[in-house]
Amino acid sequence: MALASIGNPRTSYPARITARSWSDRREQYRYPLPWRQFAAQDAVEPEEPRAPGFGAPVAWRRGGRQGGARRQSPGPALNKDAGDYVRFGFRIGDRNWGSGWFVTLAVFAIAIGVFFLIALPSCLRDDPWESLEGVTSISLESRGACALLKDGTVACWGSFHEAGPPDRTFVSVSVGRHHACGITTDRLVVCWRGDGKPWGEPQGDRFASVSSGIDQACGVTSAGALRCWGAPGFVHGAVPEGDFTAVSVGNYHSCGIRADGSLACWGVNDRGQAAPPEGTFSSLSAGPLYTCGIRVNQSVECWGANDAGQATPPTGSFTSITAGWKHACGVRPDHSVACWGLNAQGQATPPPGQFTMVSAGLNQTCGVTTSGTVVCWGPGR
């Protein structure tokens, strides 16, 4: 069985082609799929779509090189006119993932990048979140996502699949650009990277919450103090002192809610993202260059960059909020979702349904339904 790269370019999983002849539905024949590492922009259809029977390859080309699938076990040459088809599938652990549709004869080039399964044609994609059940929260970033399940386990996809998550039980998880951090059941913070390299984490403190950014993370300890850590040069200025109930990390700025409900922000403030309004807030979410928060009266206020309308929220009440790249979304008291800002790829057009929380990334949004499943909109690839 050959390999295909899924998720992070360094990750490889077994893959297979299953072919079935229309004239003999009782038999199916498997062919190996040669492993190739492709960039997303190199995905092309086969230059000569031919059946993988009797050594005839299903071919693709990148930079003049070809790869193809050849017969592994005896089987007939497939005939497009007769309605023969092939099906792509791969296996992760003990779970099989296959195409939701049968494709006619040709197998498309497999090209995998860091934004989930970005290079597979839609008929061959299997979104990993669709099979999740018992989800309590989700955290989404441009390169990947992680979901927390009721049993305390964490399921990740995209660039966070290869090296994590650790074999621990968690009460919360937050995904950043290059790392993810979670709080374990004993209230310790554990962080991991998608490439397998170690990532710093605080020692000694117990935490109530954690938030991850590009190369920085901040958390509120059980005693209410702020702690921030990360790669050298990425800690966003002096961390304020005092008692806090929440913190959210953006690209190069962070904001927190003090015990009295007022806001404190620090770090880069070139777009006003670290200049919070006065008043009392119950929750907040920092985007790359803007921040949104929910006041105690459940109205939303945003500040910072507003070039795509991401800092112009709708009126009405909200119970939770998330700030993505240039769009934001929130859950209303009736569990419906409202989004605003950039919507070029449908990331700000939520589907109908009942949600408990949402998380916005680069060009995709995912939400946890009241039944514990995950629904995403926008390509995210």
Question: What per-residue confidence (pLDDT) applies to 12?
Answer: 32
Give the C-alpha separation, 176 to 158, whole Å: 12
State the distance between the two ends of the chain, measured CA to CA, in whole angstroms: 27
* pLDDT above 90 for 358: yes
Domain ranges in the chain with CATH number 2.130.10.30: 129-377
pLDDT at 119 over 50: no
CATH 2.130.10.30 given to domain 129-377: yes
Whether the per-residue pLDDT at 159 is higher than 80: the answer is no
The predicted structure's pLDDT at residue 199:
80
CB of 349 closer than 8 Å to CB of 356:
no
DSSP-based three-state secondary structure for 103: strand
As a whole number, mean pLDDT of residues 114-134 equals 48
pLDDT for 177 beyond 60? yes
pLDDT band at 167, cuts 50/70/90?
A: confident
Q: Could you report the per-residue pLDDT of 320-342, keeping only the tens digit for each?
A: 999 999 999 999 999 999 999 99
Best CA proximity match to 229, nearest among 275, 176, 185, 184: 176
- Residue whose pair of structure tokens reads 């589907």 in the numeric block: 351
- 322/297 Cα distance (integer angstroms): 18
Per the prediction, the chain carries an average pLDDT of 73
* pLDDT at residue 282 greater than cutoff 60: yes
- Is there a cis peptide before residue 165, judged by omega within 30 degrees of 0? yes
- Of the two residues 329 and 120, the one the predictor is more confident about is 329
Residue spans of alpha helices (H) in 49-180: none
Q: What percentage of the chain carries pLDDT values higher than 70?
A: 62
The rounded distance, in Å, linking the Cα atoms of 292 and 329 is 10
| pLDDT tier at 198, thresholds 50, 70, 90 | low
For residue range 50-105, what is the model confidence (pLDDT) as tens digits?
Answer: 333 322 333 222 222 233 333 333 344 444 444 444 444 443 344 444 433 333 22
pLDDT bucket at 108, cuts 50 / 70 / 90: very low
Is it the case that residue 343 has pLDDT exceeding 60? yes
pLDDT at 37 over 50: no
Q: Which of 147-156, 195-204, 252-261, 288-297 has the lowest mean pLDDT?
A: 195-204
Q: How confident is the model at residue 309 (pLDDT cuts 50, 70, 90)?
A: very high
pLDDT at 166: 83
Q: Are 40 and 116 in contact (CB under 8 A)?
A: no
pLDDT tens digits for 227-261? 999 876 666 788 999 999 999 999 999 999 999 99
Q: Is 335 exposed, middle or buried (0-12, 13-18, 19+ CB in 10 A)?
A: middle
Q: What is the pLDDT of residues 125-145, one digit of tens each?
A: 345 677 789 999 999 988 788
